[in-house]
Amino acid sequence: MTSVLDLAPVVPVVVLKDAAGAVPLARALVAGGLPAIEVTLRTPAALDAVRAIAAEVPDAVVGTGTVLSPDAVTRSVAAGARFLVSPGWTDTLLAAMEASGVPFLPGVSTTSEVVALLERGVTEMKFFPAEAAGGIPYLRSLSSPLPRARFCPTGGITAESAPRYLALPNVSCVGGTWMVPQDAVEAGDWDRVEALAREASTLQDSRRA
C-alpha cells in the first residue's frame, strides 16, 4: 500500500458516536478527494464504524487513531483498519504495530522520541499535539538535523494553518477535524462535509515531497 502520508494532503480525524453515519460520512470524504480516514477509538461505535467503511466504501482507506495498546491494534486490524495511528508510543505498542502487517504512524512530540524511532528504522510519524508541542517552528527546526523523519502533524491544525504546515519539507500531510464538524456529522449534512473535504484536498498543491 502507498504510504499513508502520500494518500492525500489532509487526513480527516473522525470521532463517531453512532456507526450509522460512518458510510455516508466516508463516501462524502472520498467524493471530496480525501480517501484516508482516521476513525479514533474514542467511542464505543468506532470499530463498528471501521467495519462498515471497510465493507461498503472500497475507495476509502480507513484506519484507526488513538491506538493505545496491543489489544487495540489487534481489534483494529480485525475490523478492517488499513493503517494505525497512536498519540504516543512505547516499546510494547510499537512492537504490536510493527507486527500488525499494516502501516502505522506512532506519535511523537520530542526530538528524543523521533531519534528513538529512527534508531528502530521508523521514519514516518505523527507529530502530536502539533500546536501545543511547538507547531511549525518546532517541526522546521527538526528538518535539518533529522532529515529522514517525515511527519503528519495533528492537533489544533485548521484550514488556515494547514498550508503553512504542508510547506515544511518534513511534513507530508496533516491531520484535522475541520472538514468533519460535529454539527454537520450529527445532522447528516454530507454535502457540507464533501464541500469542506474538496477544499482541503486542494491543499495538494502546497505539498512538498
Alpha-carbon gap, residue 195 to 39, rounded angstroms: 20
One-letter amino acid at 74 equals T
Give Rg (Cα) of the chain.
16
Strand order in the sheet with 124-127: 107-108, 124-127, 150-153
* Helix pair angle (70-79, 91-99), 10° resolution: 20
Instruction: Tell me if residue 38 is catalytic.
Output: yes
Q: Which helix (H) or strand (E) holds 192?
A: helix 190-201
Alpha-carbon separation of residue 23 from 75, 186, 188 (angstroms)? 19, 13, 11
Are 25 and 190 within 8 A, CB to CB?
yes
Instruction: Tell me if residue 17 is catalytic.
Output: no
- Select from 169, 129, 130 the least CA-distant residue to 146: 169
Q: Are strands 36-40 and 107-108 parallel, antiparallel or unpaired?
A: unpaired
Selecting among 124, 126, 160, 194, the annotated active-site residue is 126
Selecting among 17, 38, 131, 199, the annotated active-site residue is 38
- Select from 42, 41, 43, 121 the least CA-distant residue to 81: 41
- Select from 45, 81, 51 the least CA-distant residue to 63: 81
Q: Which residues are catalytic?
A: 38, 126
